Amino acid sequence: MPRLSDSMVEGTIVAWLRDEGEEISVGDEIAEVETDKAIMPYQAEHAGTLRIVAQAGEVVAVGALIGYIGDPDPVTEPAAELVGAAVTAAPAAVANSGTAAPAKLNGNTRPKVSPIARRLAAALGVDLAMLAGSGPGGRIVKRDVQGAVAQPVGEGAHARAPETADRGTVERQPLTTTQATIARRMVQAKTTAPEFTVTVTADVEDLIRLRAQFAEQEPERKLSPGDFVIKAVARALRLHPRVNAGYADGAAELFSRINIGVAVAAERSLLVPTIYDADAKSVGQIGDETRALAAQARAGRLTPADMANATFTVSNLGMYGVSHFTAVLNPPQAAILAVGAAEQQVVVHDGQFAARHRLALTLTADHRVIYGADAAAFLASVRDGLENPLKLVI
């Protein structure tokens, strides 16, 4: 299993793109691997015949064996069990019968089990010792555990579907690598950062009109209110560098570049691609780049570079009709902005009642780096840009 991102400790084999026994050339894409950030293709570094060891759906630690490319002779199973994140994978001795020697851990014979099969068995109460593995070399894989639930295997096999009297049958869905990373980082944010929130409301009536004028001029390029928000944020970060910061090792880190992370809802996950140097780009450029990155995110085609080096994050739920919400910090960044929907409200404008589009903006900030006055001044600059949108396009 290759390390495809700096923070990757394990990966999920989403699919093999080439078949067992197929001849592979250097540079061929042979598998799709889900890292802690995205689904990425894995390119062959050697030429030869492909022999698959780890099956699609298995979670494998970085450095562990997933297959061979080379000698077309039958391959053997690794003899070492995985212990935490430290992995040593080596060919096991093969008896004359052609079966692989069983894996040993601390001198005790144990069945070879894929990590996902082990977790699923623990969740469903399946006794692994009673199963016969159908994977390479007798390795127990996910389908063996699922089969044991549907039909117990052997004498004394125990399989149960978790259920309660009130909730019925419970379907457990193990987290993907990306989901597990999100969960870990959100717990880190909520337990280590002393966060606080500040909310302002911007009158975006002029912005809505300007956006409509752009749509008439360039109907093929549809700018969203979110594109203007990103530009307003980038402009405000240049005015308030203390907010374009992070916290690490007991110190505040102020970043010279303004790279805006944009939260995108993908299937069963949340990805945050980066708009690099957003302060130097026009609203149109930001809009084009945001939509391209969002499409890649939903297709699972973002690279680690697409999601790295953000200095600030914008999370927008306005398209779902959400009026107001609070976002969770994305460590080590010191701030994140939650954007609601631009809604028409009856307000007093120029001494008279009028229906005006209003937009709620909520900043979540790390109090170790940003103080209340910093947050308030930053939000005032964002609001100023949105209420005077010509400042964002000139």
Q: What residues does each domain of the chain span?
A: 10-169, 187-393
Looking at residue 358, what is its pLDDT? 96
Query: Given a cut of 60, is residue 95 above it in pLDDT?
Result: no
pLDDT tens, 122-149?
A: 767 778 877 888 876 777 887 787 777 6
**Count of CB atoms situated within 10 Å of the CB of 167:** 8
pLDDT tens, 332-384?
A: 999 999 999 999 999 999 899 999 999 999 999 999 999 999 999 999 999 99
**pLDDT mean over 166-174:** 81
Looking at residue 123, what is its pLDDT? 67
Averaging pLDDT over each range in 32-41, 96-105, 261-270, which range is the top one? 261-270
Cis peptide before 174 (omega within 30 of 0): no
Amino acid (1-letter code) at residue 260: I
**pLDDT mean over 299-303:** 84
- 46, 324, 349, 367: the active-site residue: 367
Lookup: tokens for 74 = 């039958």
Residue range 187-393 in CATH 3.30.559.10: yes
Q: What Cα–Cα distance (Å) separates residue 73 from each residue in 28, 69, 80, 136? A: 21, 11, 21, 14
- Please list, in sequence order, all residues whose beta carbon lies within 8 angstroms of the beta carbon of residue 385, skipping any fewer than 6 positions away: 228, 231, 232, 235, 236, 391, 392
Using a 10 angstrom Cβ sphere, with 0-12 exposed, 13-18 middle and 19 or more buried, the burial of residue 370 is: buried
Please report which confidence band the pLDDT of residue 7 belongs to, taking 50, 70 and 90 as the band edges. Answer: low
Looking at residue 201, what is its pLDDT? 97
Query: Given a cut of 70, is residue 213 above it in pLDDT?
Result: yes
Please report which confidence band the pLDDT of residue 304 belongs to, taking 50, 70 and 90 as the band edges. Answer: confident
**Which helix (H) or strand (E) segment is 288 a member of?**
helix 283-298
Tell which CATH architecture fits domain 10-169.
Beta Barrel (2.40)
Looking at residue 320, what is its pLDDT? 93
Active-site residue flag, 158: no
